[in-house]
Amino acid sequence: MHPLQAGFFNSITARRAVCATSVLDIAAAVQRPLPARLSSSLRCCSRRFSSSSSAEALQQAPESSTAAQAQPPQSTRRASPKPLPPQNPHTHLKIYVLPTLHHKIVFHPAFLRPRSSIERSAIVAAYILRKWRYQLSDTAAFAWHALGAQSSGRNFLYRFGNRITTRRAADEYFLKSIPRIAETVEFIYPASVSSRAIKRQLSDEVLANSDSHRQKLFLWALLLPSALYVAKFHLVAANVLFSYNVFRLNAAWRSVYGAKVLQRAIDARQVTWTASTELDERIRAISDEVAAKAKAEAGGDSHTWKWTGGDLHDEVVERLETELKLAELSRTYRRARLQYFVHGPK
């Protein structure tokens, strides 16, 4: 018989068998017996189809079994997950963490890798401008700090001036250094520093003060038109206040957006915490060298500086800035330390 005729015959037989089985099932469900001749013919049709289908299944069974044996056994071991994509140096921000006075933490973001030559030139130009301004500020700061080592009257004036002029702005200095294009953040800290203390200060002090930066942004924006009007039409000396107003407005705006970038990275789980033993060993090695140098200069005096896990020596911070290539690390550290020295840990 031709294969097409055989297939057609098998399909007709299957349809008849299905109809016969359906009629028998319906009759049993309604509990009405069929005539004896009709019932026997339906059962015979159903048996024929079941016997033919079972024979075909037996003929196809060896073929399927041999095909299954021919297939190579699949490994039940779960495939290893795909490796994470490499970090983009243009959007991956590294924040270095160092301890200071009163068990507080100093955060310093490193510069992102420039995406173009124009961006690189802008970063270098801004750094040169800030460095000139910082050198002028350092000259005035050294003269001011020398005032505190004199008589008790000058010392009182020095402490009073520090309390008035030193702002509690360590969180502002940190937040306005976070670029808006940062997508992933990595906190790198010495292994001897508690990660719980770092996270607590980051959430309770840095991110909790984001509302205050928003309020400052609103207030400085309100004062800007009046400061501009007075400086342009009434008093030339008011240009100093106008420039300071613009400076504070820019700082508040950058702090607000820096907090948004950091909070967005935390919510998206794009923040990693790296306890660096290498950084810890480097700090200890430099601290031992600085302590030995200070002890030799003091003639073997044992009451010289020694790092005990807290505040770092200025020379240690400067060497870390050079070795790790972290621009302005020493300035960030001294500024935050002075705040905690004047106003305490709170």
Q: Let me know whether 319 and 173 are in one domain.
A: yes
Q: Which domain holds residue 27?
A: 3-54
- For the beta sheet containing 271-276, the strands, ordered from the edge strand earlier in sequence to the opposite edge, are 105-109, 92-99, 184-190, 271-276
Cα(314)–Cα(141) distance, integer angstroms: 15
Q: Let me know whether 48 and 96 are in one domain.
A: no
Q: Let me know whether 102 and 12 are in one domain.
A: no
> Which is nearest to 308 in space by CA: 291, 292, 330?
291
Average pLDDT over residues 182-187: 93
Q: Let me know whether 228 and 327 are in one domain.
A: yes
**Is 76 a domain residue?**
no
Cα(126)–Cα(31) distance, integer angstroms: 96
Q: Let me know whether 174 and 321 are in one domain.
A: yes
97 three-state secondary structure: strand
Residue of higher predicted confidence among 304 and 139:
139
> Which is nearest to 109 in space by CA: 123, 91, 94, 131?
94
**Is 83 a domain residue?**
no
Q: Let me know whether 7 and 108 are in one domain.
A: no
> Which is nearest to 292 in space by CA: 279, 307, 277?
307
pLDDT digits 0-9 by tens, 298-343:
776 666 677 777 889 889 999 999 999 998 898 899 889 888 888 8
**Is 73 a domain residue?**
no
**Is 125 a domain residue?**
no
107 three-state secondary structure: strand
Final residue of a domain: which of 54, 69, 84? 54
Q: Let me know whether 34 and 179 are in one domain.
A: no
Identify which of 65-69, 72-76, 254-258 has the greatest average pLDDT.
254-258
Q: Let me know whether 31 and 105 are in one domain.
A: no
Domain count, the chain: 2
Q: Let me know whether 197 and 296 are in one domain.
A: yes
Q: Let me know whether 316 and 245 are in one domain.
A: yes
**Is 7 a domain residue?**
yes
Cα(202)–Cα(225) distance, integer angstroms: 35
Q: Let me know whether 179 and 47 are in one domain.
A: no
Among 21-30, 119-128, 174-183, 303-312, whose mean pLDDT is lowest?
21-30
This prediction's pTM: 0.69
Q: Let me know whether 39 and 180 are in one domain.
A: no
